[in-house]
């Protein structure tokens, strides 16, 4: 699956995007655990529940199943003006 990082999350992960091929990541919660293991500096942002996820360009707020060809975006809250 393809993971895309936006805004200041790019700086924390030092990646714009990456591909993950793991049979252990079957849902969004599994992905969160994987990301926290790989990028521990995301922990406080997960704890504060400020990070947002989109799967195949649709916002998700609960645990959803993931497929190997999904595109997941990770980004901070969007503010409007």
- Domain ranges for the chain, please list them: 2-71
Q: What pairing do the DSSP bridges indicate for beta strands 2-5 and 71-75?
A: parallel
77 pLDDT above the threshold of 90: no
When pLDDT is cut at 50, 70 and 90, the band that residue 59 belongs to is very high
Q: What is the pLDDT of residue 6?
A: 95
pLDDT of residue 81: 52
Whether the pLDDT of residue 80 is over 70: the answer is: no
Average pLDDT score, the chain: 92
- Which CATH architecture best describes the domain 2-71? Roll (3.10)
Instruction: Tell whether the model's pLDDT for residue 25 goes beyond 60.
Output: yes
For residues 42-69, average pLDDT: 92
Whole-angstrom Cα distance, residue 58 to residue 45? 21
Whole-model pTM: value is: 0.89
Residues forming a β-bridge with 19: 2
Structure tokens at 44: 């406080």
């Amino acid at each position: 699956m393809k993971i895309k990082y936006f805004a200041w999350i790019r700086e924390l992960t030092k990646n714009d995007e990456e591909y993950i091929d793991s049979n252990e990541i079957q849902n969004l919660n599994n992905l969160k655990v994987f990301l926290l293991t790989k990028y521990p500096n995301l922990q406080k942002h997960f704890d504060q529940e400020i990070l947002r996820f989109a799967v195949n360009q649709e916002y998700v707020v609960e645990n959803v199943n993931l497929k190997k060809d999904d595109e997941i975006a990770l980004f901070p809250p969007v503010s409007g003006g």
